[in-house]
Chain A
Amino acid sequence: MSALTSHLRKYASAPVCHDIQINGQLVGLHDSGVLWWPEESTLVVADLHLEKGSSYARRGVMLPPYDTGATLEKLAGVMDAFDPARVICLGDSFHDAGGSDRLPAHYRAMLTTLQLGREWIWVTGNHDPVAPVRLCGETVDQVELGPLKFRHEPVEKIGSEAAEGEICGHLHPAARVRRFGRSIRRPCFTTDGTRMVLPAFGALTGGLNVTDEAFGMIFRRRQFSVFMLGNDRLFPFTASRLVAD
């Protein structure tokens, strides 16, 4: 409780988050889909998939070219609200390895402005295994800060030491709840208290249901919780309340 009050005093101006503990660290989950680590003034965001539209356009599928803009605007809003000292992008920040090179000039400028005055860490992902070009920030395969480990893909071993304090993305978790014969599917945070999978932040990123067997490799069956993204708040559910697609 004292940790919470001191946190409230210290970050009184920060947006309302759902506070939980991961591997003993107090972190806040925000309904935009970002994770806020107040202790380190660090903002974590996963799977931006910038330039996904143009990645498809190259192959003749002309998706709207507005995804990068929409994602960056949303990110800018979050940065305004939290004003973090450090930002960690958890991989798949660009939809393909050439994405950062294709980034239109005004979006590059916008991103660079967001990076001003803070530490920026690009974690590599399977979509963007290389460092982005002509952009600031440090590129790493993974990074460990205190008790938390930041990487793109989760370690596929439940209860292993490597998984303790792991914050990752990659899976684009989404959950489905059924009620009165209708069902609702939303992106969500997924955690068992020792590790956490963030929802995908990018505008054109779909989701994978957390009941999929891919999640069975990282959480014990039904022994995890999700926080579904709503408008201005999160909706927590235990895994047993969720349904498959």
Chain B
Amino acid sequence: MPKTSLWLSPSCPSHPKTEAMDAALLPNRFQSWFAHRGWSPRPHQLQLIDHLSAGHSTLLIAPTGAGKTLAGFLPSLLELEARGKRKAGAAGSQGVHTLYISPLKALAVDIARNLEAPVSEMDLPIRLETRTGDTPSHKRQRQKTNPPDILLTTPEQIALLLSDPASERLFASLKTVVLDELHALVTSKRGDLMALGLARLRKHAPGLRTIGLSATVAEPLDLRAYLVDQPDPGTRALAHVVEVSGGAKPDVSILNSEERLPWSGHSSRYAMGDIYELIKGHNVSLLFVNTRSQAEAVFQELWRINADTLPIALHHGSLDVGQRRKVEAAMAAGMLRAVVATSSLDMGIDWGDIDLVVNIGAPKGASRLAQRIGRANHRMDEPSKAILIPANRFEVLECQAALAASRRGDQDTPPLRKGALDVLAQHVLGMACADPIDPVALFDEIRSAETYRALTWETFEKVLSFVATGGYALKSYEQYAKLKKGKDGLWRIAHPKIAQQYRLNVGTIVEAPMLKVRLVRSKADGRRAPIGRGGRMLGEIEEYFVEQMTPGDTFIFGGEVLRLEGIRENEAFVSRAKTDNPMIPSYMGGKFPLSTYLAESVRSMLATPGSWHALPPQVREWLEIQQEKSVLPSKDGLLVETFPRGHKNYMVCYPFEGRLAHQTLGMLLTKRLERLGARPMGFVANDYALSIWGLGDLSLLFSSGKIPLDTLFEQDILGDDLDAWLAESSLMKRTFRNCAVIAGLIERRHPGQEKTGRQVTVSTDLIYDVLRSHEPDHILLQATWNDAAEGLLDISRLGELLSRIQGRITHTGLPRVSPLAVPILLEIGKEPVYGEAMDALLEDAAEELVLEAME
């Protein structure tokens, strides 16, 4: 099926008013090429040419379909056309002219293919090439000695090139860097790595201009600062900006289902009939879900009711690559009616004419939703159509808030990250591989990157010493140092092997340890024989997911219910299960917590009954009964309900700050309640609420003032209790592992090495324990803490919550469970419950054994 080019779409009628250069000033080749295609350059494309020729770095903010990518390349195409054919041996002809950097290697390859067309059609004297992890080594080698004019690549490849002693020559004549999907890149550690790379590129090529291509974001100033050199720590330098106001407003609505809306859960099973009808009513639908497990469940449900055998496919990051490519190809060829996908398709490549986006479950963020909606209808002037499917009653509120945000065009992309220290350590080693390091010069260079502007010399020194010898207060590894300081004050790598080691470990993506899923015949068939060699590979699955299972357990993967047969080395052997009901609950919680912006909107919606008219009757009724039986949570305060149920007492509070922050809070509150004698037994958290239960009469303890709520939620809870808990937290250990790999403390596992990997290698958990008890200020623990505060534990958000609610806590003692509390109580037993220390669990298991023996 023919489709419009990825990076260029037929233009809108040419604008009479152009503030920028006139299209007529374009060289003939370009004019006739545009004319031949029946297109004309758009104003923002011309504006960008203007800024660039004046030497200004520029951020281009435009919705999908605005011809963003062509805009990014046009200035370079013009300059290279003007330069003419490269003369062998001429000065400055040895290096790359333009770098295009994309977060996805597939996107880089795709863009290169699409750029070939105009280059060859206009017969431009330009050589363009891609460089990714898949590029053969002889080609990579050749690219260093005889580089192309335009190189399309990824942040990791830039880091690798910059660690090469030849990098200075390679990039000395670099003129432009185009950063695609900048809004996505800057939210991760890859963005930090890129920021450091940019600082180095600017040093090699002082006049360097950058172009950032971005979707609409909440804080464009952040991205503008990211793109340029920050010479002065006091003031923020900014790139120029060109903003294309978004074409047609998307047509977004919430599914209006006849079915009963569930109280809790994330399966959206109630809406499958409706979703199926939607698929039937459109040409191609894209169904977004939040987690792999949800994708699996939705896919299975749809096929169960697929009476017309519509071609519906599944796409998520854990599927076998071959399988994913097949789905993508089928989609591009127009052979599919629907694809169920996770965020693996959030970005980049799009295929053809999707006319409906269905977002199943809560959108979690306004910008996230906007970007997903943008996947439909890649033409600016036609509205994209999207339908939101809330999976439960709280999600209705969240969808409503996201819908309002979408209509107003509000964004809630996160603020710019603070540069991570583990990434910095990796970069420092890379720079030492390229050239001897002058610490002062390198420090200044690093601080010229916006995200590392606040770096102090003390921290930098610690990082440098970490890279050299591990940075321990106990200086026992001087003799094994990786970097050695010479008489000239410069630091050099001690051995060429160090550079080799660096190259194998470059990058900031640390995959969770994965197991291959291989299909075998079932042992349940009564065969006693050992598991055979195994058959087809189905994909990969997180090791920790399999770790919680025992052979015989069933789970959903790749759209089938599978039975775990056993684990051997790095493979999980599975067989097809003869059941439709998997034993292991598939929902493992969303990866993305509810954005602060949406949380606030939901709270204010709850507190304003006048705004409820937009809600479905079932939801309205639910809230009205809550109003009657208990009270409604206020916009800025915190509602705490207590009630007895069974033989336990429950406390439910509604902070709406996302599951991660709630989990951390639950852990801390439980510890504190225990100390105060309230005998808590466990807790469960979701995105909206937190429930703790125990044996003590919580209602009485709170209302009598024995445990004042203001004291319970005092901000000092983030002090000692948190510290004590972190020592044990497996989340913290996982975070530490990632930091240790990125920073180069331990080596990455490479394909083929996993065989021994699972068994003994050095356990990062043990390293964490030892380091924590002997050198709690170590730079790597700092890096881990920073990560945890922002990510897994959401401590920064928790801190904001605690300060917001001070003096605004309302307690209501109830005779029984309130309507608002039902959803969270229903999650007990489905979501993992966090409670006592591990030993209690062991004790329990051991005691059960005793009972067994005594009966």
Chain A: residues with CB nearer than 8 A to chain B? 54, 56-58, 60-67, 69-70, 104, 172, 177-184, 186, 203-206, 208, 212, 228, 230-231, 235-238, 241, 243-245
- Closest beta carbon of chain A to B711's beta carbon, Å: 29
Bound-state Cα–Cα, A153 to B185, Å: 52
Question: Does A70 contact B548, Cβ atoms closer than 8 Å?
Answer: no
Contacts of B550 in A (CB 8 A): 178, 243-244
Task: Name the interface residues of B734-771: CB closer than 8 Å to any CB of A.
Answer: 745-747, 758-763, 766-767, 769-771
Question: Does B838 contact A184, Cβ atoms closer than 8 Å?
Answer: yes
B497 at the interface (CB under 8 A from A): yes
Bound-state Cα–Cα, A38 to B645, Å: 52
* Contact (A244, B566) CB under 8 Å given A61-B746, A179-B845, A183-B547: yes
With both beta carbons as reference points, the residue of chain A lying nearest to B771 in the complex is identified as A64
Question: Does B547 contact A64, Cβ atoms closer than 8 Å?
Answer: no
Question: Does A236 contact B846, Cβ atoms closer than 8 Å?
Answer: yes
Question: Does A62 contact B477, Cβ atoms closer than 8 Å?
Answer: yes
Question: Does A60 contact B844, Cβ atoms closer than 8 Å?
Answer: no
Question: Does B832 contact A63, Cβ atoms closer than 8 Å?
Answer: no
Q: Which one of A57, A177, A244 lies within 8 Å of B470 (CB-CB)?
A: A57
B1 at the interface (CB under 8 A from A): no
B476 at the interface (CB under 8 A from A): yes
B482 at the interface (CB under 8 A from A): yes
Question: Does A241 contact B849, Cβ atoms closer than 8 Å?
Answer: yes
B480 at the interface (CB under 8 A from A): yes
B843 at the interface (CB under 8 A from A): yes
Bound-state Cα–Cα, A60 to B746, Å: 9
Interface string of B829-843 (1 = CB under 8 A from A): 000110000110111
* Contact (A230, B839) CB under 8 Å given A64-B770, A183-B548, A237-B846: yes
B498 at the interface (CB under 8 A from A): yes
Contacts of B495 in A (CB 8 A): 60
Question: Does B774 contact A69, Cβ atoms closer than 8 Å?
Answer: yes
Question: Does A245 contact B758, Cβ atoms closer than 8 Å?
Answer: yes
Question: Does A184 contact B761, Cβ atoms closer than 8 Å?
Answer: no
Question: Does B842 contact A235, Cβ atoms closer than 8 Å?
Answer: yes
Q: Which one of A57, A58, A177, A178 lies within 8 Å of B548 (CB-CB)?
A: A178
Chain B: residues with CB nearer than 8 A to chain A? 466, 469-472, 474, 476-477, 480, 482, 495, 497-498, 501, 547-548, 550-551, 566-567, 745-747, 758-763, 766-767, 769-771, 773-775, 778, 832-833, 838-839, 841-846, 849
Contacts of B566 in A (CB 8 A): 244
- Closest beta carbon of chain A to B573's beta carbon, Å: 12
Question: Does A244 contact B567, Cβ atoms closer than 8 Å?
Answer: yes
Q: Which one of A63, A69, A183 lies within 8 Å of B762 (CB-CB)?
A: A63
Question: Does B476 contact A182, Cβ atoms closer than 8 Å?
Answer: no
Contacts of B551 in A (CB 8 A): 244
Q: Which one of A60, A104, A205, A236 lies within 8 Å of B480 (CB-CB)?
A: A60
Bound-state Cα–Cα, A54 to B477, Å: 7
- Closest beta carbon of chain A to B769's beta carbon, Å: 8
Question: Does A203 contact B766, Cβ atoms closer than 8 Å?
Answer: yes
- Closest beta carbon of chain A to B178's beta carbon, Å: 36
Selected A-B contacts with CB under 8 Å, 5 pairs: A61-B747, A66-B771, A67-B770, A205-B766, A231-B839
Contacts of A54 in B (CB 8 A): 476-477, 480
Q: Which one of B470, B482, B548, B758 lies within 8 Å of A63 (CB-CB)?
A: B470
With both beta carbons as reference points, the residue of chain B lying nearest to A203 in the complex is identified as B770
Contacts of A230 in B (CB 8 A): 839, 842-843
Contacts of A203 in B (CB 8 A): 766, 769-770
Q: Given A206-B759, A237-B845, A244-B551, list of 17 further CB < 8 A pairs?
A: A54-B476, A56-B762, A57-B470, A60-B501, A61-B747, A61-B762, A66-B771, A66-B774, A67-B770, A69-B774, A172-B760, A178-B548, A179-B841, A181-B548, A182-B832, A228-B842, A231-B839
With both beta carbons as reference points, the residue of chain A lying nearest to B760 in the complex is identified as A206
Question: Does B845 contact A177, Cβ atoms closer than 8 Å?
Answer: yes
Bound-state Cα–Cα, A206 to B474, Å: 24
Contacts of A57 in B (CB 8 A): 469-470, 476-477, 480
- Closest beta carbon of chain B to A139's beta carbon, Å: 25
* Contact (A204, B844) CB under 8 Å given A54-B477, A64-B470, A245-B567: no
Contacts of B746 in A (CB 8 A): 61, 63
- Closest beta carbon of chain A to B269's beta carbon, Å: 22
Contacts of A177 in B (CB 8 A): 842, 845
